[in-house]
Amino acid sequence: MSRLPRLAVPLAAFAVLAVAIVVMPAFLLGYREQQAAYVGLYTIALLGLNVLTGYTGQISLGHGAFMAVGGYTTAILMTDHGVKDIYTIPIAAVIAGGAGFLFGIPALRLSGLYLALATFAVAVATPAVIKKFEHFTGGGSGKNLFGSPELTGSLHPVHVLGHPLSFYNWLYFLVWTIALASYVAIWLFLRGRVGRALRAVRDSETAAMSSGVSLARYKTLAFGVSAAYAGVAGSLLVIVTTYVNPDTFPIGLSIFLLVGIVVGGLGSLLGMIAGGVLIEFLPFWAQDVSKSPGTPSVVYGVVLIALMFLLPSGVAGLFRRVGELRTHFKMKP
């Protein structure tokens, strides 16, 4: 294989994605656009979690907590400091990223199961902490953003390049533009030296260390980058929902993010969209199976276990395997 196909495949995939994003709104009506926006923001969070878990091999069951940091940064800046919503997104990324970087320092001493356990505890404790600091976060009743002048498009239609966009239209394009930019950024981040170092840490810490890869530097870096993505996703989640309270970020969210990267395929980038679709739509699909309470959870659990048995490399792995089979058959005369 020459050098061309290696770049051609991701470029083609990216082009298809970009075209799909522009064309999609023609087929989506009203709240479907909002759902598509949710898919986009979950995709962003999954991209970040994938850097940490898929590429660096550090399990996080607590990424909902970093989303909460981002989401509350946006909500507090908008309601208490009158900052326009889109300007809060980079700030949310920086603050959540900083939190992730700081959490990454003690996490250096934890490996494998212990890290899973510690992050799980962080996610479970997050709503309680948010409720405690009531004067800052609005406590259990949360913060409402709908109708505030800081929320773009909630009072007047948005004009982008001369086209008026409805509120949901605007949300859709906002989220997916950021998602596309996230894809580019993460692809650039992972393709060179840094990506190789992260994978080395995942595959063997000892080997990575003896090749001169600083575990501390790359693990905290992975934590920071991954939390920054989660912060952006959390910020967008609050903007799209136009409301935030402690239950916006339950332990279930953190678990579903892990489900998402596993379904999408650990270490795959495009697969994350499949993960985002699953997080957004599986509850609806599960409700079609049965209306009784608890069914979504059962379906989630069964899907998760079945995937670990049948398809450990996720949707992306399935495609890869189909590709391998095809080359296999082609080679035969």
Partner 1 sequence: MASFLQQVVSGLASGGIYGSLALALVLIHRATGVINFAQGEMATFSTYILWTLTANHGWPYWPALAFTLAISFAGGVGVHQLVVRPVERGSLLRVVIVTIGLLLMLNGLVNRIWGGSQHSLYSPFPTRTIDVAGVAVSIQDIGTIGVSIGVVIVLWLFFQFTKVGLALRAAATNPAEARLIGVRVPWMLGLGWGLAAMLGAIAGALAAPSLASLDPNLMQATLIYAFAAAVLGGIDSPAGAVVGGLLLGVGLNLLGVYVDFIGAELRLPAALAVILVVLLVRPSGLFGKTVVKRV
Q: Which is nearer to partner 1, 13 or 121 (CB)?
A: 121
Compute the least distance from the CB of residue 22 to partner 1, in Å.
35
Compute the least distance from the CB of residue 253 to partner 1, in Å.
13
User: Is 165 in contact with 173 (CB distance < 8 Å)?
Assistant: yes
Q: Which is nearer to partner 1, 132 or 156 (CB)?
A: 132
- Cα separation, 24 vs 33, in Å, equals 9
Residue 102 contacts partner 1 per CB under 8 A: no
Residue 201 contacts partner 1 per CB under 8 A: no
113 CB burial (10 A radius; 0-12, 13-18, 19+):
exposed
Residue 26 contacts partner 1 per CB under 8 A: no
Tell me which of 309, 322, 327, 331 binds partner 1, using CB under 8 A: 309
- Helix 314-331 to helix 271-289 angle (10° resolution) is 110
Residue 79 contacts partner 1 per CB under 8 A: no
CA distances (Å), origin 142, targets 35, 137, 238: 22, 7, 11
Q: Which two tokens stand for residue 253?
A: 């969210």
Q: What x/- string results for residues 125 through 154 when contact with partner 1 is judged by CB under 8 A?
A: x--xx-xx----------------------
User: Is 271 in contact with 314 (CB distance < 8 Å)?
Assistant: yes
Compute the least distance from the CB of residue 250 to partner 1, in Å.
11
Nearest to 235 by CA among 71, 39, 43: 71
For partner 1, the binding residues in 279-298 under the rule CB under 8 A are: 290, 292-298
Residue 258 contacts partner 1 per CB under 8 A: yes
Q: Which two tokens stand for residue 83?
A: 């900052």
CA angle 106, 107, 108 (to 5 degrees): 90
Residues that bind partner 1 (CB under 8 A): 53, 57, 59, 61, 106, 109-110, 112-114, 116-118, 120-122, 124-125, 128-129, 131-132, 206, 251, 255, 258-259, 262, 266, 290, 292-305, 308-309, 312
